[in-house]
Amino acid sequence: MGLLDRFSKKSSEPTNGAAPAPRTGRRGLGWSLTVHFDESNPNSETIGARSKSLSHLDYSPLPRITRQSFFMGVLVSMGGFVFGYDTGQISGFLAMPDFLERFGQFSEAKGGFYFSNVRSGLIVGMLSIGTLIGALVGGPIADWIGRRLSISFWCIILSIGFIVQISADHHWYQVMMGRWVSGLGVGALSLLVPMYQAETAPRYIRGALISTYQFLITLGIFLAACFNFGTYEHQRNNSGSWRISIGLGWVFAAILGFGILAFPETPRFDYRRGRTDVAKRTMEKVYGAPPNHIAIFTELEEIEAKLRAEVNRGSTIREWYDMFFAPRMGYRILLGVVLQMFQQLTGANYFFYYGTVIFQATGINNSFVTQMILNGINFGVTPIGIYLVEAAGRRVSLIIGSVWMFLMFLIFASCGHFSLDRQHPQNTESTGTAMIVIASLFILGFATTWGPMIWTICGELYPSRYRAKGMALSTASNWLWNFLLAFFTPFIVSAIDFRYGYVFAACNFLGGLIIYFFVLEGQGRTLEELDTMYIEGVLPWKSKNWVAPPPDEIARIRKAAGTHDGLDAENGQINPADLGMTNGHTNGDTDGINGAEKKEETNGHKEETDV
C-alpha cells in the first residue's frame, strides 16, 4: 500500500478553501503566525495532474509554532548551552588561586605557582580532542539506538567527565582526562542536538531552532564567566571556586538528559525503523496538523523517497570516492575545511580560552569582570549576525568582518607590545584599558560575522547527497584547529608576547581574501541553485547577480555532475516533484534565520538539509 493510499483511507474533505497567501515569501525576513499552503492546493492553476488526485487532503493553515515545537526547541537547545558552558569555564579556572596551587607547578624563580605551557595547553586543549572523537562516533551510535536515547547517553558521559574533574585533588592529568571525557559528550551533543531538531521540527522553523541552538552556545559561555566570577569572589581560596562551577554543569546536563525522554523519537528515525504510524503521529503533534494534512503527507513522501534512494546507493567506500571526484566537489570540500580553519584563526578563542590570563597581564585588577564583558558582548550581539546573514548577505558581511577584526588585532597587538609595560603593567593602566576596549570591539565583529556565518556557509556548500559527509569533514577541521590553538597558544605567547595578535591579524586579512575569491553568495538562493553555481564555475564576485536557469536545466546540470539527489520515477522510486508543490511546498516557508535550513528545490521539490 502506497503512502497516498494510506492517507486516502484516513482522510476527509479539506476543512476550508484556499487561504490568502502571506506577504512574506521564501526570500522574506518577516514571519507570520500561520503557514499557508495555497500553492499546494489542487484549486491552484499551477498544480499538476498528480496533485489533482490529492484534493482529499487538508490544506488549511497551520500555526507556525506549536506548544510541542516550542518546548522541544527550548529543551533540546539546552545541548547548545551545555556545549558553551563547558567550553567557557576553563579560562577562569587557570586564574583561580586554589586551582593554580593544586594543579600548577611551583617555582621560586617565578615567585609561586604557575602553569607550564604544556600543562595549560593540555588542560585546555584536551576538551577539543574529546569533542572531535565524540562528533565522529556520535552519528553511528545515534543510528543504532536512536537520537533521543543517544542524547541521554551522552549527557551521562558528560556528567562522568564532570565527576572526574571535581574529584581531582592534586593530579593535573586527572583534570585533563576529565575534560577529555566531557569533550566526548560535548562533541556528540553538538552533532545530535541539531540532528534531532532538523529531523523533528517543521521545515519552516528548522532554521530558527538551529539558530536558537547556536545562540544558547553563546549564553552558556557567558554564564560560565558569570559563575566563575561569583565563585572567585566568594570562594576564592578554596576548591569551591572551581568545583561549584563544574558541578553546576550537572544541572544543565540532567535537564537535557532527562527532559529529552519526555519527547518522542524523531519521525525520520522511526520511519526508517518501520514505525511509520508512530512517525506520523509525532509529526501531527509537532506540526499541530490533522492526520490528513498536506504538510504531513509531503514530509512523509520525502522521507520515504530519500530512504529508497539511500537503499539504491552503492557501498560507503564508493560514496566517499564519488564525493571527492564529483565535479567541483574536491574544491568545495577543501573550501569548507579551510573556512572552518580560518574561523579558528580569527583569534576569538584566544580570548575565550585565555582571556582571564591575558587581561591579568595587562594589569587589570579583576580580569574575571573583563571576561564577563567579552562573553556578554558575544552573547548579546550574536542575534545581529543571525539577522545580517539574510539581510546583508554572506560575502559582504564576512569581508567587512575580516577587515574589522584585522584592524582590531593590529591595534591590540601594537598596544600590547609597544605601549604596555609587561613587567609592571600597573604603570600603563590606560593601555590595559584600551586593550580591553579593542578586544570588546573585536568580539563585536566576530560574533556578528565569522562566528555564526561560517556555519551557514558550510551548510550551503554541499549538495544534499554529500552534505553530511562534507560537513563532518569541515567540522573536524574546526575542532582540530581548536585544539591546536588551545595547546600551542601558551608557547607562542611566551615567545612573542602580544605580537601573537599580528598572526591573527594576518589570518583575518587572508580570510577576507578567501571569501572574496572563492565563496559564492547564498543570500536568497536555494541549495539547488548554489550547487549549480559551483558546478558551472560562477565567479564568486559576480555570484550575487547570477540568474538561475529554469528548474529543468538546473536538474540536468546537477544530474550530469553527479550531485543530483532526485529520484527517478522510471526506477520505481517516488518523485515528490510530481506532487506539483512549488516554492518548497508552502507559500509561507522561509529560509530560516541563519540559512542553515535553506531549501533545495528540484522541479519544485524542496530537499531537506542534512545536519
Q: Residue 411 above 50 pLDDT?
A: yes
Q: Considering only residues 5 and 301, tell me which one the structure prediction assigns the higher pLDDT.
A: 301
What's the rounded Cα separation, in Å, for the pair 438 and 259?
A: 41
- Residue 2's pLDDT is 52
Query: What number of H helices and E strands is found in the chain?
Result: 25, 6
Query: What percentage of the chain has pLDDT greater than the value 70?
Result: 78
> From CA 447, how far away is CA 492, in angstroms rounded?
25
Q: Is residue 77 packed enough to be buried (19+ CB in 10 Å), middle (13-18) or exposed (0-12)? A: buried
- The pLDDT score that the predictor gives to residue 611 is 30
Pairwise CA distance, residues 329 & 563, whole Å: 9
Q: How far apart are CA 419 and CA 432, in angstroms?
A: 9
Residue 269 reports pLDDT greater than 80: yes
- The pLDDT of 166-184, averaged and rounded, is 92
Distance CA 490, CA 350 (A): 10
Q: 607 - beta bridge partners?
A: 600
pLDDT at 208: 65
Grid cell listed for 563: 550531485
pLDDT at residue 29 tops 50: no
Of 350, 326, 328, which Cα lies nearest the Cα of 499? 350
Residue 41 pLDDT grade (very low, low, confident, very high; cuts 50, 70, 90): low
pLDDT digits (tens, 9 = 90+) for 124-167: 888 889 988 888 888 788 888 888 899 999 999 999 999 999 99
Q: Can you give 490-512 as a three-state secondary structure string?
A: HHHHHHHHHHHHHHHHHHHHHHH
Highest mean pLDDT among 30-34, 194-198, 286-290: 286-290
Q: Give per-residue burial for 267-304: e unless 16+ CB within 10 Å, then b.
A: bbbbbbeeebebbbbbbbebbbbbbbbbbbbbbbbbbb
For the stretch 311-352, pLDDT in tens is 666 667 887 888 888 888 899 999 999 999 999 999 988 887
pLDDT score for 299: 78
Buried b (16+ CB within 10 A) or exposed e, 87-106: bbbbbbbbbbebbbebbbee
Whether the per-residue pLDDT at 277 is higher than 50: the answer is yes
pLDDT of residue 181: 95
- Examine the pLDDT at 60 and tell me if it is beyond 90: no
pLDDT at 26 over 70: no
Check pLDDT > 60 for residue 396: yes
pLDDT, position 243 = 92
Q: How many Cα atoms within 13 Å fall on the side-chain side of residue 455?
A: 22
pLDDT band, residue 94 (cuts 50/70/90): confident
Burial of 108 (0-12, 13-18, 19+ CB in 10 A): exposed
Report the mean per-residue pLDDT for the chain: 78
Report the run of H or E that residue 35 belongs to, with start and end: strand 34-35
How does residue 595 score in pLDDT terms, banded at 50, 70 and 90?
very low
Which residue in this structure is represented by grid cell 564568486?
Answer: 540
DSSP state of 415: I
Give the pLDDT score at 107.
Answer: 81
Of 8-12, 151-155, 401-405, least confident by mean pLDDT is: 8-12
- Of 83-92, 296-305, 486-495, least confident by mean pLDDT is 296-305
- Could you give the CA distance from residue 486 to residue 492 in angstroms, rounded to a whole number? 11
**pLDDT score of 364:** 65
Please give the pLDDT value at position 591. Answer: 38
Give the number of other CB atoms < 10 A from CB of residue 212. 20
Mean pLDDT value of segment 411-425: 85
Which comes out higher in pLDDT, residue 567 or 549? Answer: 549
H helical segments located in 48-108? 49-52, 67-76, 78-88, 90-93, 97-103
Helix (H, G, I), strand (E, B) or coil at 58: strand
Q: What is the mean pLDDT of the segment spanning 432-445?
A: 89
Distance CA 62, CA 326 (A): 40
3-state secondary structure of 73: helix
Q: List, for residues 203-226, the tens digit of each pLDDT value.
A: 767 666 766 777 888 899 899 989
pLDDT at residue 514 is higher than 90: yes
